[in-house]
Amino acid sequence: MTDQPTEPPNPEVGKRRLRVALIASSYNYIKDGVALTLNRLVGYLESHDVEVLVFAPVGDAPAFPYQGTVVPVPSMALPRRPEYRLAFQLSRGNRARLHAFQPDIIHIAFAPDFLGYSAWRLAECWKVPLVASYHTRYETYLKHYWYVAPLKGVLAWYLRRFYAACREVYVPSPSMVETLLAEGLRDNFRLWPRGVDLDHFDPGRRSADWRGRLGIGIDEIVVLHVSRLVREKRTDTLEATLRLLEARGIRHRSVIVGDGPERAGLEARLPNTIFTGFLQGDALSEAYASSDIFLFPSETESFGNVTLEALASGLPSVCADATGSRSLVEHGCSGYLASPGAAEEFAAYITQLIEDPKLRQEMAIAARARGRTFSWDGTMARLLGYYNALLAGIGA
C-alpha cells in the first residue's frame, strides 16, 4: 500500500468526543444480520455522543435506510455470488479522509478482503488501537463451494494472524469463543452478544389472518425456517428434514422465509412448502409468531440472529448443535440441538414436538423466557464500555 500518511492522527483523547472509524465489508448494500447489527451499533454510538465514520463498499442504491455517514470504498460484485461485494483496499482519498477524521479506535467488522487488510496496516502504521468484531465463520463456508475449498487452510492462517494483531476481538457467543480458543487463537476475546427487539418479536403478534392468507388452517402445526437460501446455511439438511417429515406422514405445514441462489431448486424439490421470499417489519414478526416450531440446521453461525428472533417469538427451536445455536438453545428446555447434517435427528425432534402439544407449549414458554434475556441496549452499552476501558488502559 502506498501514498498513505505516515504520521499518526494524534487524536488527543479526552479533549473531545470519542471518534470511532468503522471499517465494514457489509454495511448497507445488502440487508443481512451483519449489516443490521452494525447499523444498530452506529445509531447507538451516535446517540451517546460518539462520532463514527463508516468505510464500506456500496451498491447502486442502499438496501435499507442506514445509520451514520458512509464513505464508499472501491469494490466489485463478487463472482458467482453477485449479491455480495468484494471490497478492495482503501483508496488514496479514503486514507486521507480516515486520517483527517483522527480516529481514537479503528474497528474492523472483518471479512477476509483487501479492505480489512489495508485498514489493519494503517492502524499499525498510525499506532491507533485496532479492534475487530467477529461476525461470520468464513473459513467454514469454503467447503460448500468446490472452487474455493482448497483455500480453507490459507484463510484460517490469515484470520489467525489478523485476530492476533487486534487489541480486542468482540465475539458474539460463548460457544464461538470456546471454538476459537480450541483452534489455538490468542485469547484477546470479549463477549459481545446480539440483542432482539422484544416488542417486535413477540408471541402476541400471532395472526390467524397471516395463516389464512397462506392457506394454513388454524390448528395446523407450522414448521418455519428463516434465512438466506445459500448452501452454507445447510439447505441440504433443511430439504432432507422436510422430505423425511412428509415421507413419514407427519402432519404439518412448512414455511420458508428468505431468498437466495438455492431457492429455485428448493421450490422444485419441496412442492408442498410455502416460500414467502424475504420478509421484514411486521410481516416478519407475524411469520415467526404465527408459526409453531423453528427449524435451523446451519452450522456456520457465530451467533444466530434468526434463532434469537424465533425464541423471542415463543418458538421451540430445533437447531444444529454448533457454534451460535449452542449458546442460544437450551437442549430439552427451549428446543433441541441436533447433530449437524443429521436430518434424521432433526426430523425426530420436530416429530416429537408436533405430536406432543404439552411439550410444545412448555418449550414455547421457555423459549420466550430465553429470548427476553437479550437486550439491544445492554449489548451496545457493553461495546461502548469496552471502547472506553481500552482507551483508559484498563482493557489492554
Q: What is the dihedral of CA 77, 79, 83, 85, to 10 degrees?
A: -40
- Number of Cβ within 10 Å of residue 177's Cβ equals 21
With beta carbons less than 8 A apart as the criterion, state whether 326 and 175 touch.
yes
The pLDDT tens digits of the residues spanning 94-107 come to 999 999 999 999 99
Mean confidence (pLDDT) of the chain:
90
Q: Residues in the chain with pLDDT < 70?
A: 1-15, 111, 136-153, 394-396
**SS3 assignment, position 379:** helix
Task: Name the residue among 280, 270, 171 with its Cα closest to residue 226.
Answer: 280
pLDDT of residue 31: 86
The type of residue at 116 is G
How many CB atoms neighbour CB 382 within 10 A? 16
Q: What pLDDT was estimated at residue 140?
A: 55
Q: Are 130 and 167 in contact (CB under 8 A)?
A: yes
pTM: 0.80
Q: Is 30 exposed, middle or buried (0-12, 13-18, 19+ CB in 10 A)?
A: middle
Ordered structural domains, the chain, with CATH? 19-195+376-391 (3.40.50.2000), 203-371 (3.40.50.2000)
Question: Are 225 and 256 in contact, with CB atoms under 8 Å apart?
Answer: yes
- What's residue 175's pLDDT? 85
Angle between helices 281-289 and 305-312 (to 10 degrees): 60
Q: What is the pLDDT of residue 238?
A: 98
